């Protein structure tokens, strides 16, 4: 494969995450032992907040009154789109019942987890959209209880728009608590909440590490790293739009890579010239974040053909993948590794991030090679069952006994033997290990 890097990411040394891991484990251990008292102590230390942990209905109502009506309308619009799309996803999951052999029936059921814990960031950015994405999908999936936690601001509490959104989307309880202490409170079932069966939602490196540490005891949506985005563009693309989309995603943070893959050098050169200009027009602190991300992690890759472009994209396996090129159906059929795909100039990553209906909690750091993003399916357990008549169980029992003995698992074999002797006492079976 022939690639020319017109701009290549700098070689950045990655510092060890062991300090973060040790800090997170220490906090989790202390909160699990000290329960609510320890969680509140960490909330005072890190959130600088000494208010009540559980947000009351009155406080939610007061917060809703502070949200402008136009913003409420926009939030309801986004919530409705996400809800309806999630309902269509849920409809793809059906219970299955199949007669494997005559008289022996196997089945599948989809059962939602009982309690979901959703982390909604509220620090540098107040992620109203994250509340929509995580809570709405859990509600549609049928979770019995949904707990939300979000970092409060000192002396103020949780952002009013986040409170309004979480309540609208179906949260049963909201904790004014961020960071590891918020994640731990949901996982351990503190402040009168049921323990979460799954933890979802984006967060900083400490939140991500807490979810990683708790995985196994609880489910999680995914191991999340910094957000990343890739644009595939040919000569038909508008360089101004491509540049704006790259900058829009670079503002996520200094460690958020953005990539342009193209087969048109003239387009690439126009984008390379325009991106720094657009970054310079951003307000602070967005400008510094985008500038750092573009300088250190931004890449522009020139390929010979659209097939080479697609292969390059699949290798990167981006979280967000935008195609601004001709023949969109070809790209839809060809591309294999991405978290969410945005086909054509008429849509963009920000649409998916905020209001279009697809979920914005997506695999990062190449994880799109093996997993998709958050959906109602993440809240569902796909379980199986079986039932048989005595005649139906006979061939299964015979095969089970012989395979078990071949494997050296005599106890397994005898559970089949006892049924065959009970149901067919006059039959002589050859249940020795298969040769």
**102 located within any domain:** no
Nearest-5° angle of CA 217, CA 144, CA 362? 60
Instruction: Give per-residue burial for 275-298: e unless 16+ CB within 10 Å, then b.
Output: beebbeebeeebeebbbbbbeebb
For the stretch 73-130, pLDDT in tens is 999 999 999 999 999 999 998 899 999 999 999 999 999 999 999 999 986 667 899 9
* Last residue within a domain, chosen from 176, 196, 220: 220
397 and 358 both lie in a single domain: no
Q: What is the pLDDT of residue 155?
A: 85
For the stretch 44-73, pLDDT in tens is 999 999 899 999 999 999 999 999 999 999
pLDDT surpasses 70 at 13: no
Mean pLDDT in residue range 269-293: 95
**75 located within any domain:** yes
pLDDT surpasses 90 at 176: yes
CA distance 178 to 312: 38
User: What is the band of 316 on the pLDDT scale with cuts at 50, 70, 90?
Assistant: very high
Tokens of 241: 């739009």
Q: Which domain holds residue 427?
A: 389-435
Cβ atoms within 10 A of the Cβ of 91, count? 9
**383 located within any domain:** no
Strands, E assignment, 191-253: 198-200, 219-220, 229-233
434 and 365 both lie in a single domain: no
Q: Tell me the Cα Rg of the chain.
A: 26
Mean pLDDT in residue range 132-141: 97
pLDDT surpasses 80 at 11: no
CA distance 231 to 243: 10
Q: What is the pLDDT of residue 15?
A: 52
Q: What is the pLDDT of residue 116?
A: 98
Q: Residue 38: give its domain's CATH number.
A: 3.40.50.1980
**393 located within any domain:** yes
Please confirm, yes or no, whether 319 is among the known catalytic residues.
Answer: yes
Average pLDDT over the chain, rounded to an integer? 94
At 183, is the secondary structure helix, strand, or coil?
helix
Predicted structure pTM score: 0.90
- Give Cα separations from 15 to 12, 19, 20, 246, 400 (angstroms): 9, 10, 11, 26, 52
Which percentage of the chain shows pLDDT scores above 90? 88
Which candidate in 30, 59, 209, 319 is catalytic? Answer: 319
57 and 170 both lie in a single domain: yes
**12 located within any domain:** no
CA distance 318 to 338: 5
Cβ atoms within 10 A of the Cβ of 426, count? 4
Q: What is the pLDDT of residue 56?
A: 96
Q: What is the pLDDT of residue 45?
A: 94
pLDDT surpasses 90 at 14: no
User: What is the band of 433 on the pLDDT scale with cuts at 50, 70, 90?
Assistant: confident
230 and 347 both lie in a single domain: yes
Which percentage of the chain shows pLDDT scores above 70? 97
* Last residue within a domain, chosen from 220, 253, 276: 220
**8 located within any domain:** no
166 and 77 both lie in a single domain: yes
344 and 363 both lie in a single domain: yes
186 and 234 both lie in a single domain: no
Tokens of 414: 């005898």
245 and 161 both lie in a single domain: no
- Residues paired with 54 in a beta bridge: 175
In the numeric block, the tokens 């693309």 are attached to: 237
296 and 245 both lie in a single domain: yes
Mean pLDDT in residue range 360-387: 93
CA distance 197 to 115: 5
Task: Look at the chain and report how many structural domains it folds into.
Answer: 3
76 and 211 both lie in a single domain: yes
**260 located within any domain:** yes
Mean pLDDT in residue range 316-332: 97
203 and 291 both lie in a single domain: no
pLDDT surpasses 90 at 247: yes
**4 located within any domain:** no
239 and 137 both lie in a single domain: no
* Last residue within a domain, chosen from 179, 205, 220: 220
Please confirm, yes or no, whether 59 is among the known catalytic residues.
Answer: no
Which candidate in 79, 127, 320, 360 is catalytic? Answer: 320
Q: What is the pLDDT of residue 278?
A: 97
Mean pLDDT in residue range 345-361: 93
């Amino acid at each position: 494969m022939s690639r020319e890097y017109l701009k290549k990411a700098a070689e950045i040394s990655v510092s060890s995450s062991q300090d973060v891991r040790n800090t997170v484990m220490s906090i989790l251990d202390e909160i699990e032992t000290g329960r609510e008292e320890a969680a509140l102590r960490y909330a005072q230390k890190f959130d600088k907040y000494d208010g009540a942990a559980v947000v009351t209905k009155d406080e939610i109502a007061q917060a809703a009154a502070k949200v402008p009506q136009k913003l409420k309308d926009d939030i309801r619009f986004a919530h409705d789109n996400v809800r309806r799309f999630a309902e269509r996803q849920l409809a793809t999951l059906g219970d299955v019942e199949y007669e494997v052999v005559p008289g022996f029936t196997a089945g599948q059921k989809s059962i939602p987890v009982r309690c979901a814990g959703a982390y909604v960031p509220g620090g540098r950015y107040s992620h109203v959209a994250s509340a929509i994405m995580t809570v709405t999908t859990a509600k549609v999936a049928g979770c019995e209880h949904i707990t939300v936690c979000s970092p409060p601001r000192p002396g103020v509490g949780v952002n009013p728009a986040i409170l309004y959104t979480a309540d609208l989307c179906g949260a049963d309880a909201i904790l004014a608590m961020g960071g590891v202490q918020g994640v731990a409170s949901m996982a351990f079932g503190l402040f009168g909440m049921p323990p979460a069966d799954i933890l979802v939602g984006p967060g900083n490196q400490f939140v991500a590490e807490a979810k990683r540490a708790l995985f196994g005891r609880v489910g999680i949506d995914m191991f999340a790293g910094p957000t990343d985005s890739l644009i595939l563009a040919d000569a038909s693309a508008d360089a101004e739009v491509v540049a704006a989309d790259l900058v829009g995603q670079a503002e996520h943070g200094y460690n958020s890579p953005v990539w342009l893959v193209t087969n048109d050098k003239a387009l690439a050169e126009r984008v390379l010239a325009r991106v720094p200009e657009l970054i310079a027009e951003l307000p602070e602190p967005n400008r510094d974040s985008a500038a750092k991300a573009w300088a250190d992690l931004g890449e522009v890759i020139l390929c010979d053909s659209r097939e080479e472009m697609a292969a390059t994209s699949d290798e990167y396996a981006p979280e967000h993948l935008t195609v601004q090129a001709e023949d969109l159906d070809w790209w839809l059929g060809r591309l294999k590794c991405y978290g969410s795909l945005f086909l054509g100039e008429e849509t963009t990553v920000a649409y998916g991030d905020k209001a279009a209906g697809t979920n914005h909690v997506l695999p990062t750091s190449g994880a799109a090679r093996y997993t998709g993003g958050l959906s109602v399916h993440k809240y569902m357990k796909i379980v199986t069952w079986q039932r048989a008549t005595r005649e139906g169980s006979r061939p299964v029992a015979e095969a089970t006994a012989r395979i078990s003995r071949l494997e050296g698992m005599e106890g397994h074999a005898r559970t089949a033997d006892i049924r065959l002797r009970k149901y067919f006492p006059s039959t002589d079976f050859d249940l020795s290990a298969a040769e």
